[in-house]
């Protein structure tokens, strides 16, 4: 049985900010969905890139040594591995993340 | 420079059905966007799973030996590697696919 995942339903399960739930796996990658509300501390991932897709809302990702990235609904950006970043929400937002299963974070949180 | 990808803009580049464009890479995976319009032949991918995300529209994926999968806007399904399938559109639709960079297809097309 191949299951389908409905994002409109899934976001109802999310009430706590910055607490991603795993919604799918594809190869050695994992798809996570999180509520972004407020600010998340500076950190970096040493094991791989992380793709952000804004399903609902709008966010800013501050990036060490680069201009801020602003992402609106339906927009995607990829954070290269090892680059320190800190996301914050412009409004409460739901964000999909694609990243390696074993992604490790290092930072201030 | 980390670029942002806007799906609403990207779909304007797609006029030919079943001709995915690569919109991003993340680790050894690639993100492709395609216009689904009509039927695509039965095939399977031997190198990895393929994730489908319906950005706009609705599609049916027929799956050998399994019930059909119907995906509406904002819905996701993962086709396990080696499983023969044939997508068709219910209406002209824009679909994101996450899959290994080197995904090989085998089938009737």
Q: How far apart are CA B104 and CA B15, in angstroms?
A: 24
* CATH superfamily for domain A7-107: Jelly Rolls (2.60.120.10)
Q: Residue B108: count other Cβ atoms within 10 Å of its Cβ.
A: 9
Q: Residue A18: count other Cβ atoms within 10 Å of its Cβ.
A: 15
Mean pLDDT (whole number) for A79-85: 95
Quick one: pLDDT at residue A3?
92
Note whether A26 contacts B51, CB cutoff 8 Å.
yes
**Which residues are within 8 A (CB) of B23 and not within 5 positions of it... i.e. 6 or more apart?**
A76, B5, B10, B31, B32, B33, B96
User: Would you say domain B28-101 falls under CATH 3.40.50.300?
Assistant: no
Q: What is the pLDDT of residues A15-68, one digit of tens each?
A: 999 999 999 999 989 999 999 999 999 999 988 999 999 999 999 999 999 999
Quick one: pLDDT at residue A72?
98
Query: What is the interface pTM, i.e. ipTM, of the complex?
Result: 0.91
Mean residue pLDDT of chain A comes to 94
Sheet with A85-89: list strands edge to edge: A69-72, A58-63, A85-89, A43-45, A105-107
pTM of model > 0.95: no
Q: How far apart are CA B17 and CA A104, in angstroms?
A: 39
The confidence band for A107, taking pLDDT boundaries of 50, 70 and 90, is confident
The confidence band for A104, taking pLDDT boundaries of 50, 70 and 90, is low
What are the structural domain ranges in chain B? 28-101
Residues of chain B scoring pLDDT < 50: none
Mutation site, A71, A78, A95, interface B, largest B CB count within 10 A: A78
**Which residues of B are less than 8 Å from A55 in CB distance?**
74
């Amino acid at each position: 049985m191949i299951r389908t995942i409905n994002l409109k339903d899934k976001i109802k399960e999310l009430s706590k900010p910055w607490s991603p739930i795993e919604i799918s796996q594809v190869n050695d990658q994992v798809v996570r969905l999180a509520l972004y509300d407020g600010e998340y501390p500076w950190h970096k991932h040493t094991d791989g890139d992380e793709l952000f897709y804004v399903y609902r809302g709008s966010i800013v990702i501050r990036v060490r040594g680069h201009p801020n990235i602003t992402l609106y609904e339906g927009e995607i950006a990829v954070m290269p591995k090892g680059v320190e970043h800190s996301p914050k929400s412009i409004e409460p937002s739901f964000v999909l993340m694609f990243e390696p299963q074993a992604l490790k974070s290092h930072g201030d949180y």
